[in-house]
């Protein structure tokens, strides 16, 4: 079985979560298979090997799962992006529109250096708003976005369109 099929066989669909009408793609069953996690991390990292990435930004909370592994595999720092009020040090923040309201995300002001090439990772690309907001945080710290990495992309939601102004490259391992 190829990697895509192995990963898809482990991702669990949870209907009506977090609200009615949503089919949630639960990646947590992947974590019970350490060999598969290594394969996933290698596949994600292989795509970026020539991109001269200086850091990986992982978006709370699913982006922490493979984002940290990806950063370790690439031997670069991992930088968490969190919801407002969750980081204990000086932060830079960016607010963005949601379907019903607004959200704010933050990262530490000293987490990336100016002129770094930063890879933004999340385990799922849906509408793209949070990933685009993370790119704005990278730009606020005078660094550039090397690209976007996702474990799963929900193509029917057209999230890549939100990333266009920031994206040099967008790579997803699995498409639905």
Q: Which residues are catalytic?
A: 62, 99
Angle in degrees, CA 75, 169, 100, rounded to 5: 100
Burial tier of 15 (Cβ tally within 10 Å: 0-12, 13-18, 19+): exposed
Both structure tokens of 67: 């984002």
Both structure tokens of 132: 């685009």
Helix (H) or strand (E) holding 149: strand 144-153
Rounded Cα distance between 101 and 40, Å, is 34
């Amino acid at each position: 079985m190829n990697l895509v099929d192995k990963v898809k066989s482990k991702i669990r669909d949870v209907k009506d979560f977090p609200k009615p009408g949503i089919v949630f793609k639960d990646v947590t069953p992947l974590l019970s298979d350490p060999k598969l996690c290594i394969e996933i991390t290698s596949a994600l990292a292989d795509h970026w090997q020539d991109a001269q990435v200086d850091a990986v930004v992982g978006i709370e909370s699913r982006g922490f799962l493979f984002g940290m592994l990806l950063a370790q595999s690439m031997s670069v720092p991992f930088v968490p992006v969190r919801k407002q009020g969750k980081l204990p040090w000086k932060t830079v923040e960016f607010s963005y529109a949601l379907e019903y309201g607004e959200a704010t995300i933050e990262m530490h002001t000293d987490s990336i250096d100016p002129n770094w090439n930063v890879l933004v990772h999340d385990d799922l690309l849906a509408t793209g708003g949070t990933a685009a907001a993370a790119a704005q945080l990278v730009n606020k710290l005078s660094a550039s976005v090397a690209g976007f990495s996702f474990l799963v992309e929900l193509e029917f939601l057209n999230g890549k369109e939100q990333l266009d102004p920031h994206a040099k490259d967008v790579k997803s391992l699995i498409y639905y």
